[in-house]
Structure 1
Amino acid sequence: MHQPLGNRMARVVFFLLLSLVVAYAQLPDTFMGVPEPDSDNDSNENLDSDEFYLEIDEARDSDHEPGKDGRCLLNLEKVEVYPAYEGPFQLAGASVQVVGVEASVAKITRSPGNNGSTAFTIGGAVRLIPQKNGVIRIQYEITGAIPNTIAGMHIHEGTDCDDIGALFSSNEPNSWIPVKYQTDFDGNSEGAFDIETGFSYHKNIGKVVNFHSPDGTSIGCGVLLPVRGGNLEINYAISSSQTGISIATLTRSPTNHGPTAGTIGGTVRMTPSVNGFVLFEYDIFGTFPNIVAGLHTHLGVSCNEIGPAYSNKQPNAWIPFKYASNENGTSTGSFVIDSGFDYDENVHHVFDIHDAEGNSIACGPLVPMGFGMAIHRGETCKTDVDIKGHFWRPMDSPDPWQDIVYIPDQNGNAHGSFTIKTGFTCSAHDQHAVVIKGEPEENDSDFESDYKPFEDPRFQVEVEDDTDFRSDMTEGVRIACGALFDVDERDDHSDDGFPYERTFIVIGILVVGFMMIGLTAVYLKFWYLPSKEGSQSLVDPGEGYSTFISPSTGP
């Protein structure tokens, strides 16, 4: 059966309209002029010199409120249990905050049309820093310009010094018209000012900064490019059902020079139990065969000085606890104990293995197990494929996320902060997924700890002798995920082409499409159908279809 021509044409127009909308929705943000922060733009490489960089580390440590003076602030919008996770883990809540400094830098060199006295002398840098409410801060340093003069300096709409374009402002009168710089006797000038041009910080990235002579001629210019590679400060708080796990890797005690010195080893695993009790699971090998001897947590945090058994009970709660070895010198077992000190209070203390005479033969500090957390390249938590890998710039350094861990306490809580350098600006992390790991994987039973002192302050733990400890285990199962968002919405991005401009354009396409459908209906009714006079119907509609009847020509 055939459908009426009007129905068929209307459906063709509708599906054409729908195709246009769907195709447009798939266009990348760069089509709208939004900068792509993840791209490796070769033009950024000329900014690797510290001479033209904003001092990111100093700015980060300065006393600024979030959202002011270039401070970028991202928060974890919503965290949920990882979709692919089917284990017993339960997430009570998580908060992750990313703090950094935003800045763009233009390296000033001779303008292409400058063939005058400053052609071989002019140089410098301009730094662009976002403020609140759409204001931008300009910091400039210029050398080798015309001495003892006052002239204009502006951001222009062009993206290349060969074609700088008009002054980049949507305000009337133009915000840049009164802006001037003043040089000294040597042609040098430096200063800073705030300006509101109608365009946000992000909209100014990629634009040309231009220095003029008094007659308006361009003598020096440069393109504003985002500074990358500054340190980010990550603050986190996690609450979950994943309680703390600490591991002691047993090695020869410093005083053990006997027959077990070259054979003894093993691991001890400590986890919190209930009502202040602590569970210990041990696996010892290479000790004396067929002995019964003591094993205890000690006051000390180093095998060089273990101190007494760690208990505030009277008599000492550790006195009755023993291990029994077999004929091969191995022993495996577990027990719970209330020593008067809970799990958290036992962390970092030395676990010691004795011989039958009470001498220390093996020991190791109880090192808390860390679980990984990282920002990923993906912007959704649906699948591993969507999340992608860690978000960092490989050309700059090894993966900085591989050693980042959080350490849960006996209640499943963890909080702290660390600094990290991913090679990207703070705002480039906006909308990216944060993945939190937990629950040791099956192969984590072979976990070993490294209790050598280390220098990285992000893992620093305060203990009695100021010795620092860290865990090698930074893996675990992916158990939670969420996306970061810009807290301050400092630039709103409404003038950056997404999502507002895209929304208006989609609405425009819909309006035009419906106008096309309306014009088609008018054409059919008043021009096409009347031309078929004498015809009862354009097609044989058949059952279930309405008919188009040509206008009556009489009774």
Structure 2
Amino acid sequence: MRNRGCPLNSTIGDYPDYGGDSSGTVQVSEASDGTGLTVTYLLNNVQEGRLHASITKYEGYYGNASDVSGNVTITQVDDTSIGIYYALSNLIPNDSGNMSIHEGTSCSNVGDDYYNPTVNSSDPWDSAPQYTADSVGNASGYFTFDSGYAYANNTGHAFVVYDGSDTSIGCGILNALTFGLHIHEGTTCSDASEVGDHYYQENVTQNTDPWINATYTPDGTGSASGFYVIESGYTCDNNEGHAFVVHGISAVRIGCGLLEEVGGNSSSPSSNSDTGDSDSDSDDGGGGGGDNNTLIVALGALFGSLMLLAIAGMVYASYMAPEQVAMREACKAKGKGYSTFGIEKNGESL
């Protein structure tokens, strides 16, 4: 039987029927302050990181596209190239315009176009692909772009949308999307229907799901590492055997692993210190017949002593030697009867 304890480890693999290649490790331990859990993770091949901006009206603009809205998502293509997805609404119908990432980190002070001048001799955003709105003012599409800055360098910067006259009409800040990673009620990763919901005690967390804020941020290649502290209402060892689930975009479940005790193995029986007698436990039924063995050996020895007295006609004084032999053998048998070899109590070796 394995001794329960912490920390707990989980080896992450693909979630049932997800069809990806998720991998990594997670460790759950008691928080250093004695309250809650510390969750440490190292993930690979999860969904790639994304920067996202919600586009709203550019500050101070009140033109024909003053209700502009939409979303922009950026992914990593290679070391310096990014992929830009956009879906915009309430643009000027049938209009075309530019889009660009800016130096500023606020839509109230966007600054100039953001590019690396050591890589580009002129502003590459001037020649970036434009959007073209349909008859009701919607536009969507995708293009790749190399500004000389890597994917992660664009985090926190302003994304600006222009109309056909090069007027700024929309803006949003690019922030990294975070995804969830949580302990679940289920104790399997082989059947998606049995993984269950998040694992926590409502009476401790005031009926609030603490796992909602337990997230990770993957980089552009789908790797992530870090830790967080959470109070779920359960101690560390209460989580043993439960499923640890890694989520992706739109909370889709992409990875799973069971939490197990670090280094946990079935305990082996303790060794017998009486190594001088190789058959010491072969007939004691696992240690339960020690008293019977002692009685049998003692009676046998006593019977032998009496036979010796009858045959030899020895006087009382000579009787003591075989009695001492009998007592010695009885003590040896008793010792063997109380051997702990192979004995278990409540499933654990003594």
TM-score strictly above 0.5: yes
Determine whether 1:335 maps to 2:269: no
Give the Cα separation in 2 of the matches to 1:379 and 1:301: 44
Give the Cα separation in 2 of the matches to 1:79 and 1:300: 39
Number of positions where the alignment pairs a residue of Structure 1 with one of Structure 2:
266
Q: Letter of the aligned partner of 1:483 in structure 2?
A: L
Determine whether 1:406 maps to 2:216: yes
Deviation at 1:327, TM superposition (A): 3.5
Residue 416 of structure 1 aligns to a residue whose secondary structure is strand
Pick from 363, 387, 390 the counterpart of residue 195 of structure 2.
387
Residue 211 of structure 2 aligns to a residue whose secondary structure is coil
- CA offsets 1:457-513 (integer angstroms, 9 cap, x no match): xxxxxxxxxxxxxxxxxx12x222112223376xx997xxxx98xxxxxxxxxx79x
- CA offsets 1:329-364 (integer angstroms, 9 cap, x no match): 222222111110122222332211012333321111
Give the Cα separation in 2 of the matches to 1:84 and 1:333: 30
Q: Letter of the aligned partner of 2:148 in structure 1?
A: G
Q: Letter of the aligned partner of 1:99 in structure 2?
A: S
Pick from 49, 53, 64 the counterpart of residue 244 of structure 1.
49
Determine whether 1:482 maps to 2:244: no
Normalising to structure 1: TM-score of the pair? Answer: 0.44
Give the structure 1 partner of residue 154 of structure 2.
Answer: 346
Q: Superposed, which structure 2 residues align to 1:341-380 within 5 Å?
A: 341-380=149-188
Residue 401 of structure 1 aligns to a residue whose secondary structure is helix
- Structure 2 unmatched ranges of 5 or more: 270-284, 287-350
Give the structure 2 partner of residue 519 of structure 1.
Answer: none
Give the structure 1 partner of residue 9 of structure 2.
Answer: 75
- CA offsets 1:206-230 (integer angstroms, 9 cap, x no match): xxxxxxxxxxxxxxxxxxxxx9xx2
| Aligned CA-pair RMSD | 3.0
Q: Superposed, which structure 2 residues align to 1:88-487 within 5 Å?
A: 89-91=20-22, 93-100=23-30, 230-240=35-45, 242-261=47-66, 263-274=67-78, 276-312=80-116, 313-321=120-128, 322-397=130-205, 398-438=208-248, 440=249, 444=250, 475-476=251-252, 478-487=253-262
Query: Higher relative CO (CA 8 A, sep ≥ 6), structure 1 or 2?
Result: 2
Give the structure 1 partner of residue 328 of structure 2.
Answer: none
Give the Cα separation in 1 of the matches to 2:109 and 2:131: 22
Q: Letter of the aligned partner of 1:379 in structure 2?
A: T
Q: Letter of the aligned partner of 1:236 in structure 2?
A: Y
Give the Cα separation in 1 of the matches to 2:65 and 2:82: 29
* Pair 102,304 (structure 1): closer, same or farther in 2 beyond 3 Å: closer
Give the Cα separation in 1 of the matches to 2:31 and 2:137: 58
Q: Does the Cα contact within 8 Å between 2:46 and 2:218 map onto a contact in 1?
A: no
- CA offsets 1:366-391 (integer angstroms, 9 cap, x no match): 22222221112222212134322211
Residue 169 of structure 2 aligns to a residue whose secondary structure is strand
Q: Does the Cα contact within 8 Å between 1:102 and 1:425 map onto a contact in 2?
A: no
* Pair 101,287 (structure 1): closer, same or farther in 2 beyond 3 Å: closer
Q: Does the Cα contact within 8 Å between 2:46 and 2:254 map onto a contact in 1?
A: no
Give the Cα separation in 2 of the matches to 1:430 and 1:279: 41
* Pair 359,484 (structure 1): closer, same or farther in 2 beyond 3 Å: same
Deviation at 1:418, TM superposition (A): 1.1
